[in-house]
Amino acid sequence: MAEPTDMDALTPYARSLGIRLERREDDGTPVMRVEFDETVEGRPGHYHGGATGGLLETAGYALLRTELERRDRSALLKPINITVQYLAAGKSQATYAKARITKLGRRSANLTVDAWQDDPQRPIATAVMNVLMAEPQG
């Protein structure tokens, strides 16, 4: 069984931002992590909303790739849209994110993603995203 590696799950953008795979849950769901440093800082001592959004999107893509691989499906993932809700300020510490697939169709997937710092039950941001799964180019 091909277990996706840390790097397979990440885009060049995500690697550049410092996002990495923290762990996988028992069902294979990837938990992504980013450290607090200058590349994610907005207001001094706090996460930039864009960086938090990037982490949420990355967790969504990582889970979708994992699920497609498990089903032996290959597809080019293209963003359709994302709506991010910012619930609390991201403080100067590591942030985690993991996604849940709400619907996996043939052409598009709908995912919900949570980001948290201390307690997964108290997210600092959530997102809903739709992703297009296009035919791989030959």
Partner 1 sequence: MRNDSALLGSAMTGKTRKFDPAEATKFFTARGHSGWLGLTYSDHGDDWVELELPWREDLLGEEGQRVLASGPILSLMDMASGMAIWRTMDEFSAIATLDLRVDYVRPAREGASVFGRSQCYRLTRSAAFVRGLAHDGDAEDPVAHIQAVFMKIAPQGPVVPNG
Binding-site member from 32, 59, 62, 84 for partner 1 (CB under 8 A): 84
Cβ-in-10-Å burial (0-12, 13-18, 19+) of 104 comes to middle
Q: Does 85 bind partner 1 (CB under 8 A)?
A: yes
When asked if residue 108 is in the footprint of partner 1 (CB under 8 A), the reply is no
Report residue 61: phi and psi, to 5°: -65, -40
Q: Closer CB to partner 1, residue 36 or residue 116? A: 36
Q: Pick from 23, 70, 73, 78: which binds partner 1 (CB under 8 A)? A: 78
Asked if 76 and 92 count as a contact pair (C-beta separation under 8 A), the reply is: no
Pair 21, 32: CB distance under 8 Å? yes
> C-beta of 26: minimal distance to partner 1 in Å?
27
121 binds partner 1 (CB under 8 A): no
- 94 interacts with partner 1 by CB under 8 A: no
Q: How far are the Cα atoms of 26, 29, 119, 128 from residue 122, in angstroms, in the given order?
A: 21, 19, 5, 17
Where on the chain is the footprint of partner 1 (CB under 8 A)?
11-17, 38-44, 48-51, 53-54, 57-58, 61, 76-86, 89
